[in-house]
Structure formats: structure tokens, C-alpha cells
Amino acid sequence: MCGRFTQTASPEVIAEQFKITNPPLFTPRYNIAPSQPIAAIRIDPDRATRTLVMLRWGLIPSWAKDPKIGNQCINAKAETVAEKPSFRSAFKKRRCLVIATGFYEWQVQGRAKQPIWIGLRSKRPFAFAGLWEQWKPPEGEPLETCTVITTEPNDLMAPIHNRMPVILSPASYDQWLDLSFQQIEPLKALLRPYPSEELTAYPVSTLVNNPRHDASQCLEPVSV
């Protein structure tokens, strides 16, 4: 699964890398957790251009009666995302890029779990494959939420965890965001493990275990 990640790139870097013109001002995040707002890019249907929005992490299907279902939908499996009722509509019509600079996984070491941070060797931001939905409560404003798609691990991740988030290659961004493109198999073909040689991983402090800790100390390497 993917249950925590980082987004420490500046708005200027994000605007340049993802070709958007409206990056909002936001502070670096070192320990993003489910139910929190996260930065995502989708197509603005009125202007047919990329736009950056803030979505709550934990997808609530439009048909849901209880928003608590979002707590169970922080991730969607690549293998079943096109068929699962919670995700199949969004997979066809509401795809997005979730911006990140790294993510955490917990490796079992004896009786303990050691947090590991994983990111690109280039130190550049990247995009998880995401889906979003709009949920309308009986009263109040609509709520926009999202999920991160996961896949089987690559060689780097396999000793750490049995799943990893789908990191999309920049060459696939346009196709992933193109909502007129709804062919299931070509879309699922994008949801593959990212090349191990382009990633790096190192152990970090157990400070990250508590989502209240959201500071640069979460990223400092530790000896184990």
C-alpha cells in the first residue's frame, strides 16, 4: 500500500515540470497522511488545460452513503481498479496526477517495523497515478477526494513491501490525463512498477510513524 508520502518541491518547480500555470502557494510536506489535502493535477474541462487542485486523500465514491468509506479507499489496486465499483467510473473519467517527492513504507525487521523513504535518484518530483471523485453530502458543499493506485513491487521494493504506488513516467502523463481516452487495457498497461534503477531508498526515523510529525526531521537518514 501507500499510506504516507512527501511533497517538498516548490510551486515553481512543480509548475515547470508538470506544465501548469496556476500552482497555489503551499508549504513543503514531509509526512502526508490519509484524510489530508494533497496536490493533484487534472484537466480543466472548460479550458482543456492542466490545473492543480487540492483533493482530500481517501476516495469517496459518488454513490456512497457514508463518507467513512474514504478511509478504506486511500489506495486502489492496479490489477482490479477497472472493475471495482468504488473506482471503475473514476478510472474511465476522472484520472489525475498526485504530486510527490517520495513515499514511506515500513519494512518488517524482526519484531519491529522500520520506516523507509523511497524517492527518485534525480531528486525531482514525480506523479503517482491517481483517481478523483466528487461526493455530494445531503447538506453542505461537495467534497473532492482521491486515491493512489498501487501495483506489484519492483526489485528495490520487494524486500521492503509487497506493494508500491504506481509512479507514472512523464511520457505517459498526457494519455493518463486524457479523459477522452477510455480504453481499459492501454490504461492498465501504464500501471506498472517503476524501474528500480531510477529509485533510491534509505531508513528514516520512527518520527514518521506519527502523522503529527510533519517536519524535515522525518526525512533524515538513520542507521539501523
Among 2, 73, 96, 218, the active-site one is 2
User: Is 144 an annotated catalytic residue?
Assistant: no
Among 96, 105, 133, 144, the active-site one is 105
End-to-end CA distance of the chain: 23
Q: How far apart are CA 102 and CA 177, in angstroms?
A: 21
Question: Phi then psi for 147, rounded to 5 degrees?
Answer: -135, 160
Parallel, antiparallel or unpaired: strands 112-120 and 126-135: unpaired
b/e burial code for range 49-60 (CB count within 10 A of at least 16 → b): ebbbbebbbbbb
User: Is 2 an annotated catalytic residue?
Assistant: yes
**Long-range pairs for 216-222: beta carbons < 8 A, 24 or more residues apart:** 216/28, 216/30, 217/30, 218/6, 218/30, 218/31, 219/6, 219/8, 219/30, 219/102, 219/117
Residue 163: closest CA among 206, 96, 104: 104
According to DSSP, the residues that pair with 201 across neighbouring strands are 118
Known catalytic residues are: 2, 105
